[in-house]
Amino acid sequence: MERAVYDRMAELDASHWWFTARRRILAEVVRRIVKPPKGARILEIGAGTGHNLDMLAEFGTVEGVEFDEHAREIANARTSHKVEFAALPELETIKSGQYDLIALLDVLEHVVDDRASLAAIFDRLKPGGALLLAVPANPWMWSAHDVAHHHHRRYRKAEIAALAKDAGFDIDLLSPFNSLLYPLIAAVRVASKVTGKESSDDAMPPAPLNKALDGIFGFEKNLIGRLPLPFGVSLVAVLRRPGPTA
Whole-prediction pTM value?
Answer: 0.94
Assess if residue 71 is contained within a domain. Answer: yes
User: In one letter, which amino acid is 190?
Assistant: V
Number of domains in the chain: 1
- Compute the distance between CA of residue 36 and CA of residue 57 in angstroms, rounded to an integer: 12
Assess if residue 246 is contained within a domain. Answer: no
Q: Which domain holds residue 81?
A: 3-240
**What pLDDT does residue 211 have?**
97
CATH number of the domain where residue 178 is located: 3.40.50.150
Assess if residue 156 is contained within a domain. Answer: yes
User: In one letter, which amino acid is 25?
Assistant: I
Assess if residue 245 is contained within a domain. Answer: no
Q: Give the pLDDT of the chain (246 residues) as one tens digit per residue.
A: 677 788 888 899 999 999 999 999 999 999 999 999 999 999 999 999 999 999 999 999 999 999 999 999 999 999 999 999 999 999 999 999 999 999 999 999 999 999 999 999 999 999 999 999 999 999 999 988 888 889 999 999 999 999 999 999 999 999 999 999 999 999 988 887 777 766 666 789 999 999 999 999 999 999 999 999 999 999 999 999 999 865
Assess if residue 63 is contained within a domain. Answer: yes
- Compute the distance between CA of residue 28 and CA of residue 31 in angstroms, rounded to an integer: 5
